[in-house]
Amino acid sequence: MESRLRIFLLIAALAVLPGCATVRHWFHHDHQAAPDTTEVDDDNAPPPRVVDPDIPRRKITVPKIRSRNVEVGLNYGVISIEDFGTHPSYGLTAAYHITEDFFFQAEVGRSRAGNTSFETLSGISLLTDSERRFTYYDLSLGYNFLPGESFIGRGHAFTSAFYLIGGIGGTDFAGDTKFTVNFGAGYRIVPTDWLAVHITVQDRVFQTDLFGTNKLTNNLEARIGTTFFF
Amino acid sequence: MLRRAHQLALAGLLLLAALLTPTVSAAREYLQLFVTQPYLELHTGPGRGYPVFHVVPRDASVDVLFRRTDWFKVRTEQGVEGWASQTDMQKTVLADGSQFKFDLGDRAGFTNHRYEMGIFAGQYGGATLVSGYASFSFNSQLALEASAGQFLGKFSNGEIADIGFAHVFAPESRWSPFVTIGLGLVHTEPKATLVEAPNRTEQSAYVGGGVRFYLTRRFFLRAEYKAHYIFTKRNENEDADEWKAGFAFFF
């Protein structure tokens, strides 16, 4: 009796369980039915998405790169003012590096002329005190060549370069302003990224009629300077 | 003179101190770039003539510290600092894989740039003229220009300064003409050897035109003419012609 009841229950369970297994299918079927109908309606609709991505895009901000092409500095040296002796000079320079080869430079400098040999011998003064002030200013173009490294001892090397420079400007001297052409060469040592040391020799040429006849004067200047890069 | 030199030295030291301060306190965020070519060469200085002393391997990154002309000062992950050329830097990528793009200073820059500067030699009312100019471009065609110059003549010396607008036609072509219009000031100092005449400063206006010709890299030639009308206090206004030619660069 007992075993007959057990068989009956087992048969009932076997009959019901496969049906239960299809429960999941029923829901699934209902879910799939909906997109099927839309696909029939519109063939161009995008395929159903399995996962909806909701990730915020990372925005990369690019830091601005600083340009350090400007070089500003001070210099001190001597200038030989034709007929008026050699005297100390000091000045300011500002340069803009356009390419690795070329730079553009503005400079202003000042010196004080001494006595001509005629003045020394005769005791007559040709110029007043303010007229002896020698001020030059110019705009020039420089060309870097012979780049290289300069070694100090075994362990230290500084980048360096020779440069040629030439330009036009004016000179205030002896109560007049003269159109002046300058040309020269220099040597630049760059110990750090922001500092440079220059040694420059430049000739400043202008015409003057101070002594009656018109003549071309050469005023050679040798100087040492320190510049800072910005 | 000695006192002057001392003052100058002191000013120099102060400038040095002022310059050192930002260098020490600088804690900037640098641009990080990744090497995609087999290696990135680092030079000791910002120029092709300086030797290569280090290479950064592919996929390694560098921080860009600053730029000087066409060279970038970079620092590797190991802390090695050196100079990489513009051509090599074009092959590096940003963290998101996009190409590193920057202002190249080529023909495209000539057409479209922000600033330009230049120097000229020429004639102003018969006197020798030396002048310089700077300009700010609003777009590839319209720019605001300021120029200053000195003229040195037989009868008078002086300075001119003016500000105005320039309009460039066909900025994309190598030869690009332009027209200018603006206002200015003229300071004239008659030479003392003539009849004693006082120095004078007068207002002026000008119209002009010229042409610019792209040379190479960041350089171009520029030649221009300006017709100045000087508003004097005398019975008649004056005219002065200005002809000048020179070279300029953009950045």
Where are chain A's structural domains?
Answer: 2-41, 70-229
B44: nearest Cα among A98, A11, A191, A159: A159
B195 in the same domain as B92 = no
Q: Regarding predicted confidence, which is higher, B95 or B21?
A: B95
Q: What residue in B sits closest to A162 (Cα-Cα)?
A: B49
The verdict on a CB contact (< 8 Å) between B130 and A170 is yes
Residue B11 lies in a domain: no
B240 in the same domain as B140 = yes
The region, left, alpha or beta by phi > 0 then psi within -120 to 50, assigned to residue A85 is left
Q: What is the total residue count of chain B?
A: 251
Residue B64 lies in a domain: yes
What is the model's pLDDT at position B234? Answer: 85
What is the model's pLDDT at position B123? Answer: 94
ipTM for the predicted complex comes to: 0.78
B229 in the same domain as B144 = yes
Strand partners, B147: B133, B162
Cα gap B201→B185, rounded to integer Å: 7
CB-CB contact of A229 with A194 (8 Å): yes
B163 in the same domain as B136 = yes
B65 in the same domain as B177 = no
Q: Looking at the complex, does the CB of residue B23 fall below 8 Å from at least one CB of chain A?
A: yes
Of A78-92, A172-186, B15-29, which range is least confident? B15-29
A207: nearest Cα among A229, A185, A176, A183: A176
**How many of the other CB atoms lie within 10 Å of CB of B161?**
15
| Digit-coded pLDDT (tens) for A171-184 | 999 888 899 999 99
Residue of A139, A143, A197 for testing the chain B interface, max B β-carbons within 10 Å: A139
B141 in the same domain as B198 = yes
Residue of B66, B75, B85, B120 for testing the chain A interface, max A β-carbons within 10 Å: B66
Cα gap A126→B29, rounded to integer Å: 62
The CATH number covering residue B53 comes to 2.30.30.40
pLDDT band at A230 (very low <50, low <70, confident <90, very high): confident
Q: Is the pLDDT of residue A131 over 80?
A: yes
Residue B21 lies in a domain: no
- For A67, the closest of B4, B23, B67 (CB atoms) is B67
- Say if domain A70-229 classifies as CATH 2.40.160.20: yes
Q: Is the pLDDT of residue A24 over 80?
A: no
B153 in the same domain as B42 = no
- For B8, the closest of A74, A101, A168 (CB atoms) is A74
Residue where one domain finishes, among candidates B59, B85, B102: B102
Task: Calculate ∠ Cα A210-A212-A213, nearest 5°.
Answer: 100
Q: Is the pLDDT of residue A73 over 60?
A: yes
Q: Looking at the complex, does the CB of residue B247 fall below 8 Å from at least one CB of chain A?
A: yes
Burial of B80 (0-12, 13-18, 19+ CB in 10 A): middle
% of chain B residues with pLDDT over 70? 87
CB proximity under 8 Å: A 185-204 to B? 190, 193-194
The CATH number covering residue B242 comes to 2.40.160.20
The verdict on a CB contact (< 8 Å) between A139 and B130 is yes
| Digit-coded pLDDT (tens) for B167-211 | 999 999 999 999 999 999 999 988 866 566 788 999 999 999 999
Closest CA of chain A from B230, distance in Å: 23
Q: What residue in B sits closest to A138 (Cα-Cα)?
A: B130
The verdict on a CB contact (< 8 Å) between B249 and A104 is yes
Residue where one domain finishes, among candidates B81, B102, B123: B102
Q: Looking at the complex, does the CB of residue A92 fall below 8 Å from at least one CB of chain B?
A: no
Rounded to a whole number of angstroms, the distance between the first and last alpha carbons of chain A is 106
B217 in the same domain as B172 = yes
pTM here? 0.76
Cα separation values, A180 from A172, A205, B52, Å: 10, 6, 41
What is the model's pLDDT at position A180? Answer: 94
Residue B240 lies in a domain: yes
Residue B26 lies in a domain: no
pLDDT band at A37 (very low <50, low <70, confident <90, very high): very low
Query: Which domain covers residue B96, as residue numbers?
Result: 31-102
* Total number of domains in chain B: 2
B230 in the same domain as B187 = yes
Residue B177 lies in a domain: yes
B130 in the same domain as B246 = yes
| Digit-coded pLDDT (tens) for B199-226 | 899 999 999 999 999 988 889 999 999 9
Residue B5 lies in a domain: no
Q: DSSP state, B112?
A: S
The verdict on a CB contact (< 8 Å) between B219 and A98 is yes
What is the model's pLDDT at position B98? Answer: 86
Torsion sign across C-alpha atoms A60, A63, A64, A68:
negative
Strand partners, A214: none
CB proximity under 8 Å: B 40-99 to A? 44-51, 64, 66-73, 94-96
